[in-house]
Amino acid sequence: MNTSKALVSIENVSKSFGKQHVLKEVELEIYEGEIFGLLGPSGAGKTTLVKNLVGLDIPSKGAAYLFHEKLPSLQLIERIGYMAQSDALYGELTAKENLEFFALLYGLHGKKQKQRIDEVMQMVQLSEHVNKLVSSYSGGMKRRLSLAISLLHQPELLILDEPTVGIDPVLRKSIWEAFYDLKKKGTTIIITTHVMDEAEKCDRLGLIRVGSLIAVGTPDELKQQTETASIEDVFLFYGGAHHAN
């Protein structure tokens, strides 16, 4: 597989837990500076795939490469921002204390640390809640704080597992504007979602169903190939062949 332009290369990756096949021979390349969406229903294998990309999980078969380096690799940790589906936050600490803790893990100190905390909290519109205990945050606020933490160290690659779940539509729009700004600065973003209108906002999409990658392309390409009007219809088109499974 040609990995010259690819920031991420997934080569024939399968993952099984006992007899359950969660990923089946996934082949995929993701390029520098694009917003790539992994679209699929819950349980399709999206989270397992991104966990393989951050080195939290190891494939049963095949290999994944980031920045031309085989995973898992400790050296890559600082180049990746990862936001898990469940918020890994300390409820008994304030948002600021959470941010300071993670900033130190990324080697951010002093002025630079304070500047980045201010910037990321502004980006997710939580600046006025920075000194509140995280246990008092709503679910949507916790999602936004998790996103802020993943952005602290200005990673080259951002991997976000359903980042906007539980976030109201107005805020979701501003978070997507922040994604576009990051993309302009050269950040590559991988997002998992099952929200169709978010899928339309991605540069390219990978449709994943029952652990298999069933189609890859820009939203327009996928609609043209299937002669459909929406990404939802594209998914139903490809899904039709799988209903028998």
Print pLDDT tens along the chain (245 aa): 444 478 999 999 999 999 899 999 999 999 999 999 999 888 889 999 999 988 889 999 999 999 999 988 888 888 999 999 888 899 999 999 999 999 998 899 999 999 999 999 998 999 999 999 999 999 889 999 999 999 999 999 999 999 988 888 888 888 899 899 999 999 999 999 988 889 999 999 999 999 999 999 999 999 999 999 998 899 888 875 443 33
User: Is 44 within a domain?
Assistant: yes
User: Is 234 within a domain?
Assistant: yes
User: Is 16 within a domain?
Assistant: no
Strand-strand pairing, 6-17 and 188-193: unpaired
Could you tell me if 151 and 123 are in contact, meaning their C-beta atoms sit under 8 angstroms apart?
yes
At residue 98, the pLDDT reads 97
Measured CA to CA in angstroms, residue 166 lies from 6, 29, 30, 115 at distances of: 32, 29, 27, 28
- DSSP character for 229? S
Sequence-distant (≥ 6) Cβ neighbours of residue 165 within 8 angstroms: 85, 143
Neighbours of 196 (CB within 10 A): 15
At residue 4, the pLDDT reads 47
Task: Tell me the Ramachandran region of residue 217: left when phi exceeds 0, alpha when psi lies from -120 to 50, beta otherwise.
Answer: left
Q: Which residue has the tokens 């709503």?
A: 138
Sequence-distant (≥ 6) Cβ neighbours of residue 240 within 8 angstroms: none
User: Is 176 within a domain?
Assistant: yes
d(Cα 126, Cα 151) in Å, to the nearest integer?
14
Half-sphere exposure of 110 (CA within 13 A, CB side): 1
- Compute the CA torsion angle 123, 106, 9, 7 (nearest 10 deg): 60
Measured CA to CA in angstroms, residue 86 lies from 11, 134, 201 at distances of: 27, 14, 23
d(Cα 140, Cα 163) in Å, to the nearest integer?
10
Could you tell me if 51 and 6 are in contact, meaning their C-beta atoms sit under 8 angstroms apart?
no
User: Is 58 within a domain?
Assistant: no
Could you tell me if 34 and 188 are in contact, meaning their C-beta atoms sit under 8 angstroms apart?
yes
d(Cα 242, Cα 202) in Å, to the nearest integer?
24
Half-sphere exposure of 201 (CA within 13 A, CB side): 20
* 3-class SS of residue 123: helix
Instruction: Give me the number of domains the chain comprises.
Output: 1
At residue 206, the pLDDT reads 95
What are φ and ψ of residue 128, in 5° steps? -80, -5
Q: Which residue has the tokens 């100190």?
A: 109
What are φ and ψ of residue 34, in 5° steps? -110, 155
C-alpha closest to that of 23 among 159, 212, 161: 212
User: Is 112 within a domain?
Assistant: yes
User: Is 116 within a domain?
Assistant: yes
CATH number, domain at 232?
3.40.50.300
User: Is 231 within a domain?
Assistant: yes
At residue 26, the pLDDT reads 96
At residue 176, the pLDDT reads 92
Domain ranges, residue 236: 34-50+81-156+164-242
